[in-house]
Structure 1
Amino acid sequence: MRIRSRITIVWVAALCGLLAMGTAWADPDPGPLFLRTGSGSSLISLDLSLLPPSGVAQPELVLDFGFGTDEGSDPGTFHDSVSLTLQSPSGSRTALLLTADSTGMETAPPTQGGMTLDPTTLHFRTLSPSEFLPGYGLASAFSLVFALPPGLLEGSLRLFVDLFDNQNGVRSGAFINHWGIIDASGPLTNTPPRFVDLEAAPDVDGGYAVESHARVDLEQRQVTLDRAQEARFFRARAEVGVQLAAPRLSGGDWVFGYSLLGVQIVLRSAADNISPFVTETGATIDLVKREARTPRAARTRVYQFEGNLPVAITSIVPQGDQIVIRFEYRPRGLVLESSTQATGPYGRETLSGVDFGSQTLVIPRFGAARFYRLVSDQPLRVTRTTLDGSVIRFDF
């Protein structure tokens, strides 16, 4: 992606006279506005004035935005593109929020002379592009919430939407809707939110995930969800493949047995700790029993395992003409994860015990409790939760 920002485009236009700029002023949030290529200009631009609420304490920019094109994503091509830029009224501070073309979108790209933004401060929620960008071969749309950095808001703010046309005759377009500045610290109001998501987690501290089957009624301010079941899905992860056995209850804990897949180890020995180790070619290794047998040497030998994960020797016992070496695996990064759905998302479980010898993981016994929260573009709170047959109903 080649970044084209308002800072560099104005400089090119001033020196070369190559670009024509169409500018539109608009009051906050009059409805969707559209930009399309094919007008004969290389730059089609919207210049929007943003006025914050009186006495705003935590100003945030909110808007809906989308870009569509029939262009391909061939590398090395100068594609049609769109950018969003904020500028203080004096023009002393400029912040490029994003730029997008057929190859993708880049958030908060660095630009010479512009403010440096943290990309994680721009929060996106995907929207359907079909209403405002129908028929394009490639289209995307989203809601954006951005906490304005100190010094950028000087009483008001200018928002530029710039569509760059490479003049190849292939159509591209963009739209903007529902733009404005809100006060994130403001009290609850009667203004209907633009969206509400219900998120749930097995623990009050996380990890929360959107309940995709929740039914939201913005007018009635109500969210309905099928009543949660007690089922939970578990998986284990480590540096090699891990397979869980069915858990069993032990007192107040769940105990999960596990086995490791794809283990590859060899037994090596040396006359002492400083001599070179050589492979015990006559050794047999049982990966399930975690036991190795090798011919007994005339003199004492030092043994070690080498392979694709750490192995700890637990005992070395002579048996007739053989040496029996028992060991246990010590996989790095062994974690237990769980989810309410087999497809995820999965969150890490806090283990109360790990026994490498018996290859078991232990977690406290869990019940059917679930924790819920509402996520929206406005501050919300749940006013009532009721059980109604097979569903849970949340009023907000």
Structure 2
Amino acid sequence: MLRALFLHAVLALCVRGGITNEGPLTVFRTGTNESLFTFSLPFDIPSTNAAPRLEFDFGFATDEPAASGTFFDSFSVTLQKTNESATALLLTADRSGVQWAPSNPGGLTLTPTDVGNALIAFPDLNPTMTLRYAYAVSYLLPPMLTAGLATLFFDFFDNLNQFASLAFVRNVRINAILSPPPPALFLQSSASFAGPFADESGVAIDPTNKVMTLSQFGQMRFFRLRTDVTSRINQMHIEGEQMVFQYSFQPQVLALQSARRVEATYADETNIVLDVPGQTISLARPLENRFYRLRSDAPSVIISEQVVGNQLVLRYDFAHVLLQSSAAVNGPYADESGVIVESANRRLKIPRLGQARFYRIRSDRATRITSITIRSGQLVFHYE
């Protein structure tokens, strides 16, 4: 079972210089005759059996015109161990856009792909400026930045010209997914439905795709799984001389909850149809607006909904996978809409586009695209 550990860092209220707290936002503004504002956020990174991930939202806006040879107003984010043994410069933002993982002599060497990012809506801040952008940022901490005291620095530079700029940050947090060793898993067989069953030898297990393969028998056999978590064989077929078993682990608790308002109390829905292999939940289409969430002993998320007749069909998964694209390899990347997610087959499908695009996956666990094919006018992405 995966367990999520969240450490939320609350930005302390500050009204000094050009830094203010406005609801959940900490906002930096020019116009105070100071050229540099630094807001430092110390926190203790937990020691876990998985690398923690630093996550936050930030944005930058300016009225500065484009001009060559100009030092624009800028905003940068740096993470440093308190003992200064390791420093990571995550980003620098200004009128020209965002530099992800810029050069940082003496600090850790990062590449732009080390700093995950996705465009988000810019909040309503005054004054409204001609250029503005905002991102959700995610950085998987390397070992030298984990397990101990560290400080996150937000630096806002004002070149003191007549043009206004601002930046904001919010939702700073450390998110660590604690993943125990894979469960012990064995394929057993018997000549009789009632047993006795014994472990099979020579079984090849692909835990990523949840597939087992075994050489064919000459006689009829009954198969089952032996494991320390709830599991089942979903499908069995023959490929050449091999028997192929597709299996899945099942949460012991999985309930659909709903509420009339997002902040209200949620209660379990009782009249639902749960399709475990297909990972869907069906219920009567509600007559009013409802907010839904899952209650489970394993991290799970609703990934899509569809109205079929008078039924509402919700599809869920145990990991959040989003396809992003960009016109340039260095970004910026944004979530693609209309993506068909086939979790069981680890495939993503979108209509084929007419122009060149670069793609990546944004997920709450390590995920990568393994191949891209074109089929029936669609781009098909295989991932693991």
TM-score w.r.t. the length of structure 2 is 0.45
TM-score w.r.t. the length of structure 1 is 0.43
The structure that is strand-richer by fraction is 2
